Amino acid sequence: MVERNADASQGPRARTTGVVYLLYFLTAMLGELLLNRKLVVYGDAVNLIANAFYVAVTVLFYELLKPVNKRVSLVAALFSLVGCAIAILDLFRLAPSDLSPLLFFGPYCLLLGYLIFRSTFLPRILGVLMMFAGVGWLIFLLPAVAHHLSRYIEGLGIFAEGLLMLWLLMKGVNVLRWNEQAGIGKTVRG
């Protein structure tokens, strides 16, 4: 008889999350490049694809971090999905002009950082950086402060998210610890 892990197919998928995160980064940068060159239609089309990748990243992070706290992971995912919806509506000029997606991406990064910090399968420093990025995105919404700090805030956000993406691509997660938090340590006969 063969022993196997229960729910082994429900593994962390950390590297998949990292790959989709990388695809988001690449398409978002290409979209901005096209917009800066006044190729608005192409830039908007690429940004639509980037938002689709971010929706996928959101779902993957929900699954990855659900073992830490299912409710907090769900709330984080909802914040991100609302932010993505606003960003997509903005591409079609349908979003209210005074509603920034950062109002939702800030709390998303804060909650994601909290979950990473509380996890036993990712480095805590990644969680701390993501929480700083979340605070930064919220500060970015304050025009008086953002004017003087915008480059630093953007740099912090890109650094934190980029480092998390690279970690997932290169290291993944500690699968044993992820399985422990997910309650997949038990074996069944099959």
* pLDDT (tens digit per residue) in 100-138: 999 999 999 999 999 999 999 999 999 999 999 999 999
At 134 the pLDDT is 95
**Separation between Cα atoms, residue 175 and residue 168, nearest integer Å:** 12
At 145 the pLDDT is 77
35 three-state secondary structure: helix
19 three-state secondary structure: helix
Q: Structure pTM?
A: 0.88
**Separation between Cα atoms, residue 27 and residue 172, nearest integer Å:** 22
At 185 the pLDDT is 64
